[in-house]
Structure 1
Amino acid sequence: MEKPIVTAAQMKRCDTYTIKQIGIPSLVLMERAALAVRDEILNALPIYLKHVVVVAGSGNNGGDGLAVARMLKIAGANVTILNVGNPDHASKEHQVQDHICQYYRIPETNDPSVLNDATLIVDAIFGIGIDRPVAGHYVDVINAINDSKAAKVAVDMPSGINTDTGEIMGTAVKADLTVTFAFNKLGLTKNEGQQYAGRVIIADDMGTYWIDEHESHSDQNS
């Protein structure tokens, strides 16, 4: 079967089915996602590991980023985590990954000035979840990312790009490379999403099960 290009709602439905019905834990999917990003960075961008800054939101996309930070640290990179989300709203998976990063003594900060001397920036702020214009402190952080001369890698989606339409939600990270998970996203194929994603890598060996709407309804009614 030809791989589908999905919306945010379709991707979330597939993840939910994979986690709840098949039984693959969310943290396992997160580890697979992080491995895909790590591998692409080590293979395609090894000269940029002098100072990696992982910009992490408080949701699962941020959790993906924290796992990437740990894996790059283990691989020998100099890594700093820039936390931009609200810690009070951190997902359970994010909290687990943050605990592991603390064990590995990866420096964490809330100060965006750490971006000034970054050689590689990993964007893990929003992922596919954004559904409103970027506002507040996030605008300043995204603008600082774009102003940096560092190479930029987006985790799943460039933060600020609408997953369904490819439109800029006020402002967005302009990535050199986007590693997206399981299936390509509609927003990476249209409007500004194509330009802001840079080169797109589809990590399609995640174990995420494709479920169409008919299957989803049948499963809910069974």
Structure 2
Amino acid sequence: MAKTVTAEQMRHYDQATIHEIGIPSAVLMERAALAVRDEILSGFPLSQGKVVIVAGSGNNGGDVLALARLLHIAGLHVSIINVGNLDHASDEHKLQEHICHYYQIPESTDLKDLDGATMIVDAIFGIGINRPVTGNYTDVIKQINQSSAVKLAVDMPSGINTDTGEVMGCAVKADATVTFAFNKVGLTKDPGKKYAGRIVLADDMGTYEVK
């Protein structure tokens, strides 16, 4: 059985990897993006489809901006919807956005861009949410859930508490979730487990489905 961790434990492991081992956070971001790309390319027939990346302003959003570039290079039709306060975006997020600008990947804040999506990649909150979803985030999650597109969550379905599996007001109902390094406690408990769909763990040994 895969090891499970809380949000705080995962943050501790990430910081140890960056500051003690010396692997830069940008490298971790690239590895995360590569794992999600591989899952998308191997598990979903999207050559003629439209992938919409829904990116928050934290490092989870930075992961999927890197993913957008990788999918674009692979020849997929990909666009980005930015949510959250980009003025508070992390440095890594800003770096990935700069790279997306170089590749001229379409970006907007308009939820109408979800129309016609074949796949929606959810990376609004990641493991960080610890309070109820409110405001514009509620609208974004509701529109994602109303879409007929395949929904892939990155690390955690947005709105699911990483430690308890609780729905924090509302949450993305994913068809699959790719989580990193260790499985999360909230993905082993209902309703979080049900909202996650098929759970894929990406670690140093590769990617594999968690039963």
Q: Secondary structure at the match of 1:128?
A: coil
| Mean CA deviation greater in 141-150 or 47-56 | 47-56
Tell me the distance in 2 between the aligned counterparts of 1:49 and 1:144.
23
Structure 1 position 149 matched with structure 2 position 148: yes
CA deviation map 1:85-118 (0-9, x unaligned): 2111100100000000000000000000111111
| Paired residues of 1:182 and 1:206 also in contact (CA < 8 A) | no
Percent identity for Structure 1 against Structure 2: 68
RMSD: 1.3
Post-superposition offset of 1:49: 5.3
Structure 1 position 70 matched with structure 2 position 69: yes
Q: Secondary structure at the match of 1:137?
A: helix
In the other structure, the counterpart of 1:56 is 55
Tell me the distance in 1 between the aligned counterparts of 2:46 and 2:168.
32
Superposed structure 1 runs of 4+ greater than 4 Å apart: none
| Paired residues of 1:29 and 1:206 also in contact (CA < 8 A) | no
Tell me the distance in 1 between the aligned counterparts of 2:16 and 2:205.
14
TM-score (norm 1): 0.90
| Paired residues of 1:181 and 1:206 also in contact (CA < 8 A) | no
In 2 relative to 1, CA 82–49 (structure 1 residues): closer, same or farther, beyond 3 Å? farther
CA deviation map 1:148-195 (0-9, x unaligned): 000010000000000000010000000001000000000000021111
Tell me the distance in 2 between the aligned counterparts of 1:184 and 1:49.
32
In the other structure, the counterpart of 1:185 is 184
TM-score (norm 2): 0.95
Q: Secondary structure at the match of 2:191?
A: helix
In the other structure, the counterpart of 2:17 is 18
Tell me the distance in 2 between the aligned counterparts of 1:3 and 1:140.
34
Unmatched tracts of structure 2, length 5 or more: 207-211
| Paired residues of 2:56 and 2:123 also in contact (CA < 8 A) | yes
Structure 1 position 171 matched with structure 2 position 170: yes
| Paired residues of 1:119 and 1:150 also in contact (CA < 8 A) | yes
Tell me the distance in 2 between the aligned counterparts of 1:70 and 1:46.
18
In the other structure, the counterpart of 1:9 is 8
Alignment-mate amino acid for residue 156 of structure 2: M
Structure 1 position 129 matched with structure 2 position 128: yes
Instruction: Give the length in aligned residue pairs.
Output: 206
Higher helix share: 1
In 2 relative to 1, CA 133–30 (structure 1 residues): closer, same or farther, beyond 3 Å? same
Post-superposition offset of 1:47: 3.2
Tell me the distance in 2 between the aligned counterparts of 1:4 and 1:39.
22
In 2 relative to 1, CA 152–49 (structure 1 residues): closer, same or farther, beyond 3 Å? farther
In 2 relative to 1, CA 85–49 (structure 1 residues): closer, same or farther, beyond 3 Å? farther
Q: Secondary structure at the match of 2:63?
A: helix
In the other structure, the counterpart of 2:118 is 119
| Paired residues of 2:60 and 2:124 also in contact (CA < 8 A) | yes
Unmatched tracts of structure 1, length 5 or more: 208-222
Post-superposition offset of 1:53: 0.3
In 2 relative to 1, CA 130–165 (structure 1 residues): closer, same or farther, beyond 3 Å? same
Post-superposition offset of 1:46: 2.2
